[in-house]
Structure 1
């Protein structure tokens, strides 16, 4: 068994009234979430106690943890406290782990930071960023008693999607994104703006319309005019849509990643991953193309052909086996426990190729 990672943090940052919303998950296992309901959620955090050892002396630690997510320090004007702990870590010769919640990264003036965020452009991915899964929860356990709803292979691939495909506020979104870009580059906002400025829904709708019009696939697509946001995991229509299809379309939203990607894998569904230069977790260790119908952005208007070709290439046995492999991958690498079980290799011992810092312009959808 691997030795727990020795971590150091400063509990004085974590006032009880802010812990539930802003304290990072690892430290909730040690300090609780500051609410009377903590005992209800405590069992979900117990695995952290096997994986991490919280030490009282920074010199004994392997790495320092910023206790609250970065959004907290920005929102409540606590940045000096965050920077002070980062300086302590630097003085002790340690890296400091920082988590950002939400769709976008942020400007972080910390030279010794390792930043956990949900999205990035792969071609621009800096060595200090670690992509973390944006999990909607263990959908198989929540809805199917822990056993994936296996589908047999039919003659035609059944493709599903449930979510926003259009917006009545297109020009408002465009102007808002344009303003966010100006604010970021003028240093009026610390958060990175959406890229591209044109709303992503144009690209998403074109791709989904291609599937709807194609005789090569059976498309079960439910398009909404509003974002489902973080409510998808409690939406039975989304769950039923995935249950009743072979493949799930996973295409970027406002940020350059897909929450559906993790939901599909957790339910043993094969993602159709439309790659818009997305950075994925463990990109050096996992051959992602083994688990997905991988569609490069330049081939997006041939998505139906790609899916049909993939479906034909797999036998009934291989098709069922791949569904189970998707579920296993989620459990072993992308669930909260699976992800943090690999913390040491992902953060403290990253492969050499993850230390590249390429600065190309990302392709524009």
Structure 2
């Protein structure tokens, strides 16, 4: 059994939404698999590794970073790995010897101790399709779907720039502590690439452009309608277009995997989860914005119907069995402790 230490005093009901994701299942839900595989201890000397309990951004924003650095100092004194969670679209980079879990970031800037978190999601096949899943057969033209926020207007460009400028100013004056970002108007870039795909007669497109996030839904009923429309689009197309949002990651990418379809991921220098274990080129189409069409066509025409069915099945299996919170953290922590013991 692996032993870890954390700061239990912070694991309150008020802090559930910003807790380190592993501790959500271990402490609040008392997941039996985690409870049987890990035990919490009260001193650093007895621990195999240390977990800082909450999103580190909270401690910077509330000027309590001394608590974080004291915890790191104590863990280092006993030469055990210390794991932190950086929430939000952008994340915070700490020194290289700290094990950081975050949603995204730029691969070229991330160190080997940075672990990308998948989006931990409910199963849409169970929620919307009564657990009735089957592979999409190969068609002559690759069918690509997309439902989401995409706009080519000047007003939208200006709005996204103002949001970017606000984050930049808050970062500059010490009100925000996330990593510095370059301007990336995601809805504009999505619109341009999607419109280009629509013009290609060798590709069958099924796009629904929304001017607002979740179609501007404000009621539960509206959210349910827009969500169903979203997943129905993924379900009826073999491929789904995926491009990062504000942060350098795509939730849609993980939703497509769960649906047992094939993501077409625009490469924006992103790192994917468990890259040392998962051979991601077997699960999705990687492409630059410039070579999107040729990459998709080459992939589609190089695969038989049996190949594509196998990939779809493997994608759903991957999402369900390796990218859920329980399996993900067991795999990462066990590998982390193996590295510690053999290093």
Which TM-score band applies after superposition, normalised by the shorter structure? Answer: 0.7 to 0.9
Distance (whole Å) between structure 2 residues aligned to residue 241 and residue 206 of structure 1: 20
Distance (whole Å) between structure 1 residues aligned to residue 269 and residue 24 of structure 2: 33
State the shift of 1:345 in Å.
4.6
Distance (whole Å) between structure 2 residues aligned to residue 255 and residue 242 of structure 1: 22
1:239 matched to 2:235? The reply is: no
1:117 matched to 2:102? The reply is: yes
Distance (whole Å) between structure 2 residues aligned to residue 125 and residue 147 of structure 1: 39
TM-score w.r.t. the length of structure 2 is 0.87
SS of residue matched to 2:322:
helix
Alignment of 1:247-266 (within 5 A): 247-266=239-258
State the shift of 1:205 in Å.
1.5
State the shift of 1:292 in Å.
1.0
Distance (whole Å) between structure 2 residues aligned to residue 214 and residue 85 of structure 1: 55
Aligned residues: 332
Partner in structure 2 of residue 318 of structure 1 = 307
Distance (whole Å) between structure 2 residues aligned to residue 261 and residue 320 of structure 1: 18
Distance (whole Å) between structure 1 residues aligned to residue 117 and residue 272 of structure 2: 8
TM-score w.r.t. the length of structure 1 is 0.82
1:201-255 superposed Cα distances (whole Å, 9 cap, x missing partner) = 33222111111111111111111112349x9898111111111110011111111
Partner in structure 1 of residue 163 of structure 2 = 176
Q: Which of 119, 122, 143 is residue 158 of structure 1 equivalent to?
A: 143
1:13 matched to 2:5? The reply is: no
SS of residue matched to 1:160:
strand
Partner in structure 1 of residue 220 of structure 2 = none
Q: Which of 164, 169, 179 is residue 192 of structure 1 equivalent to?
A: 179
Mark the runs of 5 or more structure 1 residues left unpaired by the alignment.
33-41, 356-365
SS of residue matched to 1:163:
strand
Distance (whole Å) between structure 1 residues aligned to residue 19 and residue 70 of structure 2: 18
- Does the Cα contact within 8 Å between 1:163 and 1:223 map onto a contact in 2? yes
SS of residue matched to 2:144:
strand
Distance (whole Å) between structure 2 residues aligned to residue 185 and residue 62 of structure 1: 38
Mark the runs of 5 or more structure 2 residues left unpaired by the alignment.
218-222
Distance (whole Å) between structure 2 residues aligned to residue 51 and residue 147 of structure 1: 33
Distance (whole Å) between structure 1 residues aligned to residue 21 and residue 80 of structure 2: 21
Distance (whole Å) between structure 1 residues aligned to residue 105 and residue 148 of structure 2: 22
